């Protein structure tokens, strides 16, 4: 029982940290896109497109990682 509680707490902490990282990634990306659109309002730079794609990729990777972690061992 104690091991389950420790694992649950560790998983909850991991989920919280993952969410925090994803939020920071999106906030950084949004700020970069905002700054880029101020400098060149009609042009979205390929760097900004890649940055947005990377942030979405991190989000999906974290979701997948957490789903796999939740699978119970037999």
- How far is 24 from 19, CA to CA, in rounded Å? 9
Report residue 68 as tokens: 């796999």
- The boundaries of the domain holding residue 53 are 2-70
Q: What pLDDT is attached to residue 1?
A: 53
Within the chain, which residues score under 70 in pLDDT? 1-7, 37-44, 74
Q: Look at residue 2 in the predicted model and tell me its pLDDT.
A: 55
Angle at the Cα of 20 from the Cα atoms of 29 and 49, rounded to 5 degrees: 20
Which pLDDT score is estimated for 65?
92
Number of compact structural domains in the chain: 1
């Amino acid at each position: 029982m104690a091991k389950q509680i420790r694992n649950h707490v560790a998983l909850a902490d991991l989920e919280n940290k993952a969410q925090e990282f994803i939020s920071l990634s999106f906030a950084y990306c949004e700020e970069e896109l905002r700054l880029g659109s101020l400098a060149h309002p009609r042009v979205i730079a390929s760097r900004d497109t890649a940055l947005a794609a990377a942030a979405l990729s991190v989000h999906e990777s974290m979701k997948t990682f957490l789903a796999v972690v939740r699978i119970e061992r037999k």
